[in-house]
Structure 1
Amino acid sequence: LHPDIEMEILSSGEVANLTNREADVAIRIVSDRKTLPLNLHGLMGPELFGGVYMSCDRLAAWRAGAPDPIRWIVVNIHGIPTWAHEGEVRTTGVPFRTPDAEAQIVAARQGIGITRLPCFVGDADPLLARVPGTDPHIYGTLWLLTQGETRKTKRVRLFTEFVSRRLAAYAPLLAGLSVSGD
């Protein structure tokens, strides 16, 4: 990256308003292209998939027949996915709710239960494993978005080209194709 490009990454889930110049470029997950605002210009990136994960230790205990109940771990604002009953591991009881994604990952690592994570997060974590019998599900497509004349500036153009190439290079990881079945 260029030394004069200032980067700020917002991982809170809040959307920066490009029209109000809260950012020059945004990377957004879009499930329906028709929902993109008409005033934004974008480069379509790779598809983003999520999977169901649990701690490797908890998975080993489950395979060994441990009787402990396994709960869904969800972020407060999210519920249990509609496809949650797929796979070999069955959950019991009420969901374990966390305030944010960081606590969600920690809870999964600690063996509290199973949770849905983007594949690039779950597959890269050596303490987590995909729940047997589950397939990745699509979150949406990543889009690099800019607004109006901003997209024509050299720094924005170079940045979006760079990020677009990097996202393409990581497309298999983003699609959940980075792990072999066990």
Structure 2
Amino acid sequence: MNWNDLRFFLAVSRSGSLSEAARQIGTSPSRVSRRIEALEAALGIPLFLRSPDGYRLTDQGAEFVPRAEQVETAALSLSGKAAFCAGIAGRVRLATAENLATRLLAPALPGFLQAHPNLTLELVTGVRSLDLARYDADLALRLVRPTSAETRIRKLGHMACAVYIAVDADPPGFVCWSAEMGDLPVARAVTAMKSPVAIVSNSLAAHHELAAAGAVRAVLPCFIGDADPRLRRIGGIVESAGQDIWLAINKDVAASARIRAVADFVVDVVTRNALQLAPGPTASPAGAAATPHPA
């Protein structure tokens, strides 16, 4: 029995699916199936009940999960500690929201990468918060305060939002967030306005472009809306839609030179763009983009 087989086992136990486990690990479903079978043979017990609906843990499999997780925790800790000596080289995985990655960090990345040619930055974007304790990412730039005891956190700033419409249009209806995004502050803010809803979408990029096209009103982050010459801000800052910006770093790798370099870069970019992220009540001139400065 080896650690890789336990890794396959835990992936299937958490996802209930060979294909999803294979996607997470970066291999084929057939290989996952073979490793699960090899582990069951080595242990002499059935770990899963197979059905057309997926994989479900047997009683023996459920009892084995805590032991496998103990091995996983030890292996990940050793992996993290080995990163201390790597220097400013290798791969760093940064989890963040799509808008922060593309609109805030991306313009500043050329200078940073030029200064660190041996570093590879992996940007993992999305709304779902990854588990830094399980090394889903090394650090995260998030709009929700991290709560894990295994991370070091720091508040970097605030992201304000306002209502935007196209400069040559005045549509009455809003674009609203779809139900699965209803817990976002911006979604709650739009709902509280009790205004007519013309379009529902789960994509910030879609909200942005729909407003720019003149189809709807949209509540957008100010550093995006103020920077677009196709848009104009109406009214003041929508306070209830704003969110604080947080940096979280896995404690096990926080002292790594490459992690520290990326963290310093992120802090610098957010700090330098504080006024674009959280401007005053008056809209900044269109086209005054939130252009991050190189770290």
Determine if the TM-score, normalized by the shorter chain, exceeds 0.5: yes
CA-atom RMSD, angstroms? Answer: 2.3
By how many angstroms is 1:80 displaced? 5.5
Could you say which residue in structure 1 is the equivalent of 2:104? none
The reply on whether 1:55 has 2:169 as its aligned counterpart is no
Could you say which residue in structure 2 is the equivalent of 1:100? 203
Work out the CA distance in 2 between the residues paired with 1:23 and 1:46: 21
Whichever structure has more strand as a proportion of its residues is 1
Match of 1:17 among 119, 131, 145: 131
Q: 1:70 to 1:8 in 2, by over 3 A?
A: farther
By how many angstroms is 1:158 displaced? 1.6
Whichever structure has more helix as a proportion of its residues is 2
State the secondary structure of the residue aligned to 1:103.
helix
Higher mean displacement: 95-104 or 19-28: 95-104
Match of 2:270 among 167, 172, 179: 167
Tell me the matched-pair count: 162
Higher mean displacement: 138-147 or 8-17: 8-17
Q: Which amino acid aligns with 1:84?
A: M
Task: Determine if contact 1:29/1:139 at 8 Å carries over to the other structure.
Answer: no
Larger radius of gyration: 2
Q: Note the 1:1-182 alignment, pairs <5 A.
A: 1=112, 2-30=116-144, 36-58=147-169, 62=170, 70-76=172-178, 77-78=181-182, 79=187, 81=189, 83-84=192-193, 91-92=195-196, 94-131=197-234, 133-137=235-239, 139-177=242-280, 179-180=283-284
Given the two structures, how large is their TM-score scaled by the length of structure 2?
Answer: 0.50
By how many angstroms is 1:167 displaced? 0.8
Work out the CA distance in 1 between the residues paired with 2:269 and 2:202: 30
Alignment deviations for residues 148-173 of structure 1 (CA, whole Å, 9 cap, x no partner)? 22111011112111211121110000
Given the two structures, how large is their TM-score scaled by the length of structure 1?
Answer: 0.78
**Sequence identity percentage:** 25
Q: 1:168 to 1:153 in 2, by over 3 A?
A: same
State the secondary structure of the residue aligned to 2:123.
coil
Structure 2 unmatched runs, 5+: 1-111, 286-295
Could you say which residue in structure 1 is the equivalent of 2:21? none
After the TM superposition, which segments of 4 or more aligned residues of structure 1 sit over 6 Å from their partners? none
By how many angstroms is 1:55 displaced? 0.9
Could you say which residue in structure 2 is the equivalent of 1:88? none
By how many angstroms is 1:140 displaced? 2.3
By how many angstroms is 1:130 displaced? 0.7
Work out the CA distance in 2 between the residues paired with 1:57 and 1:10: 36
State the secondary structure of the residue aligned to 1:106.
helix
